[in-house]
Structure 1
Amino acid sequence: MLKLNDAKEMVLGIVQHDPLFVVIQNTPSEKILYNDDYLAHIEESNHYSIAEVAGWFEITDAMLRYYIKPFEQYIFDNASNSPNTNIRLNLPAILRLRMILLLKDEHRVRGLKLLLGIDDNGQFINHQITATTMGTDDLANKVDVLGNVLQQMIQTGLFNIFPNEEHGALQVTLNQDFLAQKIQLVSSESDLQVEELQKETAELKQENENLQKQILELQERNVKDIVQKLRERQIENEIVSTLRTEALQLFSTENKAGFFSKMFRSSQIEMEKEQFVLSYISKHLEERLEVALNNYYGE
């Protein structure tokens, strides 16, 4: 007897490569498939009557037979002979029938046949060719791959997939509304990116203009500073020159000597003169320079 905790693992082991399970997977019907009450007390090796199975699924015997008839080869795993009226189903057959019942309202009988590759006579399309050209495992793998591809196409939302009863095939069309919505979204994102780039460009341009202005101001200040320093140095040199002249004149007046005295004491006199000049300049330079600079700056 299956335990509820083991039911999902057991069911997956049977239906994981089934084309109808690919459609049910990741939908609310998948949870129903794992949690049916009958799984709690079913014996995997036993076979069960139509009445028992119909009771589990809460439908009439006639309704259950109605959905068995078109899918006999699928439900009974490609049985060569149709079951007799005393139909008994094992667990794999019950699970396949359960998936048909879960999908019947959405896909109807014709849509389910298209999903399973069954023709109007209840036969698998190209069944004989498939049976002779590939093994069961290869077929299951191919069905699994194609089913996954179909499921991914459906999940993208970019395609509309529905049965075309007139041609007996699945019809795939582009979901124009979805595509238009995505294009509009991409366009909106692009517009936002352009606006952001334009805003950043304008900010960078403004910053560059501010920097240029600051550079010009610094250059002007530097030029003014240089001119002022040169003028101050010139004023200072002029004052020093004037003070030196005054000091020499004053020294000559205060230190008159005869010819012979100058001849024999010339070196000493020169030293005394230089000392006098330096002392005179040091004494009067600061005062004269302050007056001259005040006059220059208009203070």
Structure 2
Amino acid sequence: MKAFTYQRADTATGAAAAAVKPSAKIIAGGTNLLDLMKLQVETPSTLIDINRLPLDKIDETPEGGLRIGALVRNSDLAADPRVRQRYGVLSRALLAGASAQLRNKATTGGNLLQRTRCYYFYDISKPCNKRSPGSGCAALAGFNRIHAILGTSDQCIATHPSDMAVAMRALDAKVETSNREGDTKVIPIAEFHRLPGRTPEIETSLKPGEIVTAVTLPPPPPGVQVYRKVRDRASYAFALVSVAAIVDSTRGRIRSARLAFGGLAHKPWRSPQAEQKLANASADTTTFDAAANAVLEGARGFGGNDFKIPLTRRTLHSVLAEMTRT
């Protein structure tokens, strides 16, 4: 790990101002950043500790939703009675995401901003356009079992590792930010994470000197909520495929559905076309097939991850069958 300067921020504007420098990084729980620093994937000149900021509360909103501070720990968020009762998909995603020790340190804002677990991104001896733009993507012809099948480009086929973000995508969360002038902004989570395109090193819509302060959840949608995570081992591995599903159904018929997927793309993946196939439709194999076809439109494997295409189909079928069983 290379030497760095450490400073504590007392205000959000102060933290944002210090973070304007490209060589500066915000630190809260540090569960991802410190690993990257040890491997010299990240080599910040300055760490800005934001743990003193008053961003660790979960508050009711006038609309009937929740506002979650960026410093709320994953363990506290998963255990909050309001989250468990009204946003079960989020609580389950958080519990599936990491060990209790990590959940006690990891924060809401940091979870959204964690970086890919691509082997080549973590290995500084290998080319990686995300880590070193223009160097190439070793995963394209390398070991790509965990990599993306949707929204890829010839620059990058990495996936976003967060479970929490997948659930928040299904819930239509909004991300609140603040800059060094104290100006605030609200970004729909659908627009917060970016697909790789030609600039895989740009992972979110945050601007330099802009920090996450909170995430807002709207009132919970009707229906049953489920988070299903398929992984190589049960002990907190990252998702090969995950599904955050919210389905409102009765007597074998689906009224409405929301589907968000993890492990498939550079960002939490949602398919409006699949949701349209399920709306006001019979809960049967034909409908589930149509939804899966819509989700997988344009999907492409790269050899080692070809299995993700049928795995996604089977996982979605299983989730929908379970949720609509009467």
- TM-score normalised to structure 2 length: 0.22
- TM-score normalised to structure 1 length: 0.23
In our comparison, the structure showing a higher alpha carbon Rg is: 1
Q: More relative contact order in 1 or in 2 (CA 8 Å, sep 6+)?
A: 2
- Structure number with higher strand proportion: 2
